Chains A and B, each alone.
Chain A
Amino acid sequence: MRLHVDLPGLSLKNPIMPASGCFGFGEEFAKLYDLSVLGGIMIKASTGESRFGNNTPRVAETAQGMLNAIGLQNPGVEAIIDTKLPFLSAFDTEIIANVAGSTSEEYVHVARQLSADPTIKALELNISCPNVKCGGMQFGTDPVMAAELTRLVKAASSKPVYVKLSPNVTSITDMARAVEAAGADGITMINTLVGMRIDVTTGQPILANRIGGLSGPAIKPVAIRMVYEVAQAVNIPIIGMGGVRTVDDVLEFIYAGASAVAVGTANFENPYVCQEIIEALPGRLDELGIDHILDVRGRAYAQTVSRA
């Protein structure tokens, strides 16, 4: 029970879950290990209709990171409910659906449909995807628009709503406060940082979409700093993410103020990473003299350690 975490709508046996977009709908990883070991699963984004996504190349490697511009490829909300959720319902883990769209009407439609499914325990409102032309990040960089969309989706959803924040803003705390005031039940952060790589032989961007979202270990310090700031600015829980690949990365996010942690890009490097982190957590808590993992939540700001 030292790993158990209760969050709005979510009873997590441990605070570890794969991040949206890095785990599909679980089918591929279920061939590798029992998904019931996971605290939760944040499934790939759903839009109102099916989307083909962007042209390729869709990924480019960077120093300790990766740029992606998939473009929200997904079969659409109805197909996801009909063909993906029944499979996921067989596992003893909390399923969080990622809601995306181009217009507020589309977001509301997707949120209403997904929240009505008993397999879904909470929604993650994706207002931070940098790889689509309309919607996505434009909702996530303006506090007024983000708040309005949060309000609409909250009204349409029968399940708690976590808003996924974009790091591509001047003040992350303004964004967090705005969605909290609009009724968000929690925050997930951070989505990817907008970046670009250029092929030196052609002088052209490597990604077909030209720009993409940077993820991986390279962005972890940015994510930690933002969680640290937001945790002190709002009273709703945070699921932290950005470059997590080890048990100590998880603890850094908890110290910074997160109540649970999602693992993204590391699933590509090591598809067993979530399972391995969960297995390693109790031993690491013992070494650090921590009883329950959330005993140290927010320690980075709650306690000033004397360095004299």
Chain B
Amino acid sequence: MRQMATVLSNRPVAKGAMEMKVSVGAGEIAPGTFFHVKTSQLLRRPLSVANVDGNVVTFLYKVIGAGTTDLAARKAGDKLDVLGPLGNGFPLDQTGKRVVLVGGGIGIPPLYYTRRMLAARGIETVAILGFDTKESIFYEDAFRELGETIVTTVDGSYGEQGFVTGPLERIQADVLFSCGPEPMLKAVAASHIPERYISIENRMGCGIGACFACVCQAPGGYVKVCSDGPVFQAEEVTL
């Protein structure tokens, strides 16, 4: 569960987004799960899996505080203490259905690996990716290689102007997979797509379900984001 991964590369891919590739030990990694990563700080940082290629795992992260600043300083060859994969990912058994992937900003990364795995199963997907501005766009080409991809920017500097919810209104799909900021998740959770799955982010303690730090309100109580999620059906949580 815990291992010392080796950093293979660590570079900026857009304004505010870093991409780190690490080599990890063998083991299946499901799309939508995360690794709890040790930095210079006390608590680990949950990083979603943006891609898996053999034993190479890709993380995309935004430099926000001391922990991610430390991560950004890691160089190829450095060791990285990671715990995972943790949590439950997106359900891939969507044969015969059309899946729309809706991502916002640094919530987009897990949808890339998810889309690859869906494509491998022959499942038709369409992606809507929302960014702040042209300079913050990443992985657009990689997404396009896997199917129809709509890009929005809040300031209109690239693609469609506005939020992801604009294009989502005209999309016909059976299932929605989404990850991004809470206001976006709220909006997509209430959308017309019949089956909706959202990946939630929260400040975490243990990452394995023991400390009850990262709970999210749910009908009739709370759910733990780290171990019950981070992917939930929209009806399972109260945003």
Whether A24 contacts B209 by the Cβ 8 Å rule is yes
Q: Which residues in chain A, 242-295, are within 8 Å of chain B measured between CB atoms?
A: 265, 267-272
Question: Considering the chains assembled together, what is the distance between the CA atoms of A28 and B44 in angstroms?
Answer: 17
A95 to chain B, nearest CB (A): 15
A56 close to chain B: CB less than 8 A: yes
Taking CB as reference atom, which chain A residue is nearest B202? A56
Q: In the complex, which residues 43-82 of chain A have their Cβ closer than 8 Å to any Cβ of chain B? A: 52-53, 56-61, 64-66, 68, 70, 73
Of B52-60, B107-115, B147-155, B215-223, the segment with at least 4 beta carbons within 8 Å of chain A is B215-223
Q: Contact between B208 and A70 (Cβ–Cβ < 8 Å)?
A: no
Interface of A is mostly: loop
A61 contact from B41, B208, B216, B222, Cβ within 8 A: B41
CB distance from A148 to the nearest CB of B (A): 30
Considering the complex, give the chain A residue whose CB is closest to the CB of B220.
A52
B120 at the A interface (CB under 8 A): no
User: Is A7 interfacial (CB 8 A cutoff)?
Assistant: no
Chain B residues near A265: list those with CB within 8 A.
42
Q: How far is the CB of A9 from chain B (nearest CB, A)?
A: 24
A217 touches B42 (CB 8 A): yes
Q: Give how many A-B residue pairs fall within 8 Å (CB-CB).
A: 91
Cα(A27)–Cα(B203), bound, Å: 21
Cβ of A64: which chain B residues have Cβ within 8 Å of it? 42
B211 contacts the other chain (Cβ, under 8 Å)? Answer: yes
B213 engages A68 (CB within 8 Å): yes
Q: A52-B222, A66-B42, A73-B215 are in contact. Are A28 and B209 (CB under 8 A)?
A: yes
- A56–B83 touching, CB < 8 Å: no
Q: Is B42 within 8 A of A73, CB to CB?
A: no
Complex interface: chain A residues within 8 A of B205 (CB): 59, 66, 68, 268
Cα(A60)–Cα(B42), bound, Å = 11
A268:B211 contact, CB within 8 angstroms: yes
Please measure, in the bound complex, the distance between the C-alpha atom of A66 and the C-alpha atom of B213, giving whole angstroms: 11
Given the complex, which residues of B lie within 8 Å of A267, measured CB to CB? 206, 210
Nearest CB of chain B from residue A29's CB, rounded to whole Å? 7
Chain B residues proximal to chain A, CB less than 8 Å: 1-2, 38, 41-44, 67, 83, 202-216, 221-222, 227
Q: Which residues of A contact B (CB under 8 A)?
A: 21-24, 27-29, 31-32, 52-53, 56-61, 64-66, 68, 70, 73, 216-217, 265, 267-272
Besides A58-B214, A73-B212, 20 new A-B residue pairs in contact (Cβ under 8 A), listed by A number: A21-B211, A24-B209, A28-B210, A32-B2, A32-B208, A53-B215, A56-B202, A59-B205, A59-B214, A60-B203, A61-B41, A64-B42, A66-B43, A66-B205, A70-B211, A70-B213, A217-B42, A268-B205, A269-B44, A270-B38
